[in-house]
Structure 1
């Protein structure tokens, strides 16, 4: 089952919700974004399962997404920060990246590390994956952009616990109390925002 099989009315509702939430986050001021990113970093570092070593995956903020650079810069030295790379099989791999390393735009214009395919890591190799999202629900549902990249890449987490731990990063205004899960969705372990940590493993 995939997003293309949605009933037309349901698919239209989700498209409208995406547009509304994207407009909301893009409307935030630059000062609000900077402050939110700093507070988000605190919450990500304070997660009870935050790794002290190993590979951790973030993303390059795009389209108003909350920025992860403050978190990246404060990670333990024993953690290796990675960015996602789009694969021809419509799955994500991950590439170690530091701020002075080269980047190239992918098919959506989002920067990716410029490294050989042979050097890429699979999602299962990550200790923690921080996911971008458009909206999130009260029990760990994630509304993405609709391409299914993360759900395909992380489907192995449906029937096993972390690691990798899966954490959404968002502004609190992206919370949707009535968001329904889809059959293909991979639930999140937690969502961190500038003002709250929603730990779905414990229902808080």
Structure 2
């Protein structure tokens, strides 16, 4: 079984080693694949993330989704819980505030947060994924805890969960743990792949 810590270290180093041109090209290509996919573009309430640490940049996608008048949301740490998330609307030009990890998020005093099940789609950050829809993130389990209801209710289809990553982040040797919530699909600079 591969060591998740070593996978995270290797993939994060590879992401950071991309040139600015490679990173920009991958991000633009992934945004185009998203916009051209009818299954995804019909979603109206879409949560995504703001990229860091070499993650596939979501800014090209955010710009295109705003042009289509989609409602966009960012994850916010849910106060008083064991590492879970809410999602708050991300308005154009809104001033974001840093959370306890220094990650920018909407101020929930100005934007009432929503639970995950009320969204149509979550574009998810990840460190690695495989061809069966298993993903590993940074190791905090925030998304898995937030979305754990999907493991208990197999017919619950909201929101769709789509990973957003560079193609080289595909690692076939990943093992799905019982708490891992699988992706419905993945978008990379090479296109979209559906898992379920």
Report the TM-score when normalising by structure 1.
0.88
Corresponding residue for residue 198 of structure 1: 193
Corresponding residue for residue 70 of structure 2: 79
Does 157-166 or 57-66 show the bigger shift?
157-166
Structure 1 gap segments, 5+ residues each: 1-9
Cα-to-partner distance string for 1:62-94 (whole Å, 9 max, x where unaligned): 111111111111126342011110113121111
| Alpha-carbon shift at residue 166 of structure 1 (Å) | 0.3
Corresponding residue for residue 164 of structure 2: 169
The RMSD of aligned alpha carbons is 1.7
Please tell me whether the aligned partners of residues 51 and 128 of structure 1 are also in contact (alpha carbons under 8 angstroms).
Answer: no
Cα-to-partner distance string for 1:153-200 (whole Å, 9 max, x where unaligned): 111222224221100000001000111101100000001001132211
Residue 67 (str. 1) matches residue 57 (str. 2): yes
- Aligned positions of 1:1-204 closer than 5 A: 13-52=3-42, 54-75=44-65, 77-88=68-79, 89=81, 90-116=83-109, 119-158=112-151, 159-201=154-196
Structure 2 gap segments, 5+ residues each: none
Aligned equivalents of 1:193, 1:164: Cα separation in 2: 20
Please tell me whether the aligned partners of residues 83 and 96 of structure 1 are also in contact (alpha carbons under 8 angstroms).
Answer: yes
Aligned residues: 191
Report the TM-score when normalising by structure 2.
0.91
The structure 1 segments of at least 4 consecutive aligned residues displaced by more than 6 Å after TM superposition are none
